[in-house]
Amino acid sequence: MRSAQLGRRIGVLAGGTAAVAMVMFTASCSSEESAPEETTTTTTTTTTTTTAPVEPTEKAPRINPNDPNPFSPTVIAPPAPTAIPGDN
């Protein structure tokens, strides 16, 4: 009986020590320093080129609640065979 209590106490002590160590490690790694603020200015230039007109692609099927699901498979698997009762 005493050995079970001793084992539990050692487990609780080890768990508590681990929790305290994790909190201390997290606190030691955090810093309250802020990064220096830098301002940068970017300038962009654009050039105009003539390209072919863009046409929309309409490859994706439209989903209508009244139509069957276009993403459902076309092949339907046969049903599983049934076994005779009592035969596994």
Condensed to tens digits (0 to 9), the pLDDT of residues 75-84 reads 888 888 887 7
10 within domain boundaries:
yes
The number of folded domains in the chain is: 1
Residue 25 lies in a domain: yes
What pLDDT is stored for residue 42 in this prediction? 65
Residue 22: inside a domain: yes
Are the C-beta atoms of residues 11 and 4 closer than 8 Å to each other? no
Domain annotation covers residue 85: no
Is residue 13 one of the residues assigned to a domain?
yes
**Per the domain annotation, does 68 fall within a domain?**
no
Residue at 6 is within a domain: yes
Cα torsion 68, 73, 75, 81: sign = negative
Residue 20: what pLDDT? 94
For residue 15, give its domain range.
1-29
Q: What residue ranges of the chain have pLDDT lower than 70? A: 1, 32-50, 56-63, 70, 87-88
**Can you give the pTM of this predicted structure?**
0.34
